[in-house]
Chain A
Amino acid sequence: MIEARGLSKRFLDKKRGEIRAVDNVSFTCQPGKIYGLLGANGAGKTTTLRMLATILEPTDGTAVVCGHDIVEQPEKVRANVGFLSTATALYRRLTAQEFVEYFGRLNGLDEATLKKRVDAIFIRLDMNGFRDRRCDKLSTGMQQKTSIARTLVHDPPVMIFDEPTGGLDVMTARTITAFIRECRNSGKTVIFSSHIMSEVEKLCDTIGIIQSGKLLVEGTLAQLRDKYAEHDLEEIFVKVVTPHFAAEEAN
């Protein structure tokens, strides 16, 4: 369960002054459902998800993840969250197994539990062929599996994916989307961001469209289709976002 309440993030930029990267965003993600944040580049998706993962601290507002406040108890929140993005790289000089074990230990697992978990995950993701290979010697697909294994090692109830398929080839991207579905089916709360319409259309139970840091519309795909009398998500997105683009240009 994730509950964002008036989440805001302002940055100070030397040239442009104050920037509202995320502006008073509230939404709820339920267990066993996938919430998709849809937005263009720079819309505020990454900042929102980084705040939920407590990598960044909100300027205003807060969120509650699994009963823990992200501002008050960031370490407890992180213990309940698996965070995966294209920017979360691997430690190149560790082997796949050492890498996953490192994050298991940081999550407070004792050695016996850790060994059981790692063995189970490596079998499930079919990673035993390269468990002792250094991460810099892995293919992109193997690297993605290793990243997934990292997010799973502490079996978190909440999964946060920030553009997880960005820059990946079709086959590797499918591994990720299959994994996201699996997370939902096992009852986890899933939130993920993307600017790829088809991905959001296929995966998400609830869609939130974000632009200029503001959450403009929220609903199931069916609700959005009804509201905007369009079938194609891309058309819906353009209808929602265009007036805001125009307003921004005018500024």
Chain B
Amino acid sequence: MSLRNVGIVYRKELTEAVRDRRTLISTILVPLLLFPVLSVGFGSLAVALVGKAKEETPKVMLRGGEDSPAVVEGLKKLDKIEIVPETPGWKDQIINKEIRAAVEIPAGFQADVAQQKSDTVKIFNYQGEMKSEFATDKIESYMKEYRDKVVKERLAAKNLAETVLKPFEVNRENVAPPEKVSGAAFGGIIGYMVILLCMTGAMYPAMDLTAGEKERGTMETILSSPISRMHLVLGKFFLILTAALGTAALSVLSMGVSFSVLGHYTSQSAGGRAAAAEFLLKLGPKTVISVFLMALPVAVLFSATLMTIALFAKTYKEAQSYLTPMTFLVIFPAIAAMLPGVELTPKLSLIPILNVSLLCKELVAGTYHWNYIAVIFASTCVYAAAALFIAIKMFQRESVLFRS
């Protein structure tokens, strides 16, 4: 009988939700369109900008070097760089991006090198500016090559082996499986997205089923029916939970599809995003299921909390003004988990939302810390149960239901 009542309420709320344009937009349309639009939009923008930056031949101004023809000749032969003669106000020209860098060759540079005197070649650039850095890198690597050549000649002249200056090599090699390397980069984002979309999915129905019901005057109607308030609250809660999980599931699906489509078309030109797509495709059902299992108590927590807060409001608008600040409360710990260096610790594993986003990062990277999984799942379940309990209690209070 009791489950039947919860089911009756759930079915009716579902019928209403499916007929409501605002609910459909927030739970289905937004998550389905968000990722294709974001990834295609930003992706193609990035490709266009990077491509354009590489096409342009940066101008580099040459200062001095009249008595070092060999070096100047070498610089002029450099690919994708245009060496221009010196004009006054070169610093301003760099700042105004008329030229991208300037290189200063000290007087008598080649002669000094021949006599083994130390000199300094200066490169002036616009730090952080992509095209300027590109030109600077070119000049710098040319000058370093030139230096290496000089060193080799000097060693040869003294009959010394190259190992005199390089007694041993230092190499680094990655042994982590490739999915863990990319997991560190993308795992945080996936956890963040799932959590945020759980929240946005729950938000609209949470308001509609509580404050909306008060505003439309149906609260008194439903309270006069024999259903107990607990069954009523549970039926409503399950619908909000469905919306939260549905939104998260749809968004992960659309994220996977849009990345893989994008990866398919741009695998040559945009290595990074192709890797992202590949990585998402490699996310097996095991990872997806474990991320969702962890998201489940979080969705319960959100649904119950949002419902309780919205229940206090008398109108839909009032509910909106209460729930909007909640978004920031959720975004903050979710973003904190994305920061590099923030890792799971026993203390952090008790902080709601933050703990799950951190764990999602690990799960996506393919690491299963069973102790943490148990602690986080249990603690989130406790928070979720508490939130649901409060929601049921609030629904029994006349001062909340009939606030005037």
Which of A's residues lie within 8 Å of B, judged by CB?
50, 53, 55-57, 75-76, 78-79, 81, 83, 85, 87-94, 98, 102-103, 105-108, 134, 150
Contact = CB atoms under 8 A, between A and B. Distances in A.
B285 interface: no
Nearest to A88: B221
A57 B15 CA distance: 31
20 contacts: A50-B220, A53-B224, A56-B398, A78-B224, A78-B226, A79-B226, A81-B224, A85-B220, A88-B224, A89-B216, A89-B217, A89-B218, A89-B220, A90-B218, A91-B16, A92-B216, A102-B12, A105-B8, A106-B9, A107-B226
B404 to A, nearest CB: 9
Contacts of A102: 8, 12
A98 B15 contact: yes
A134 B402 CA distance: 27
B228 interface: yes
| Most chain A beta-carbon neighbours within 10 Å: one of B5, B221, B227 | B221
A56 B225 contact: no
B164 interface: no
A87 B402 contact: no
Interface residues of B, number: 22
Contact of A106 (B8, B216, B218): B8
Contacts of A87: 217, 220
Contacts of A106: 5, 8-9, 225-227
Nearest to A92: B216
A94 B216 contact: no
Contacts of A85: 220
A249 B402 CA distance: 28
Interface in B320-348: none
Contacts of B181: none
Contact of B16 (A76, A94, A107, A150): A94
A105 B10 CA distance: 12
A113 to B, nearest CB: 15
B236 to A, nearest CB: 13
| Most chain A beta-carbon neighbours within 10 Å: one of B5, B218, B402 | B218
Contacts of B16: 91, 93-94
B374 interface: no
A94 B15 contact: yes
Contacts of A93: 15-16, 19-20
A190 to B, nearest CB: 16
Contacts of B225: 78, 103, 106-107
Nearest to B221: A88
B289 interface: no
A61 to B, nearest CB: 16
A119 to B, nearest CB: 20
Interface string B215-244: 011101101111110000000000000000
Contacts of B227: 75, 106
A247 B225 CA distance: 39
A50 B216 CA distance: 18
Given A75-B227, A78-B224, A79-B226, 19 more contacts: A56-B398, A56-B402, A75-B228, A83-B224, A87-B217, A88-B221, A89-B217, A91-B16, A93-B16, A93-B20, A94-B12, A94-B16, A102-B8, A102-B12, A106-B5, A106-B225, A107-B225, A107-B226, A150-B221
A92 B398 CA distance: 24
A108 B226 contact: yes
A88 B220 contact: yes
Contact of B223 (A55, A98, A105, A107): A55
A135 to B, nearest CB: 10
A187 B12 CA distance: 33
Contacts of B15: 93-94, 98
Q: Which 9 A-B pairs have the closest CB atoms?
A: A89-B217, A83-B224, A79-B226, A88-B221, A78-B226, A93-B19, A93-B16, A106-B225, A105-B8
B176 interface: no
A91 B218 contact: yes
A92 B221 CA distance: 13
Contact of A55 (B5, B12, B224): B224
B175 interface: no
B396 to A, nearest CB: 9
Interface string B358-398: 00000000000000000000000000000000000000001
B121 interface: no
Nearest to A81: B224
B1 interface: yes
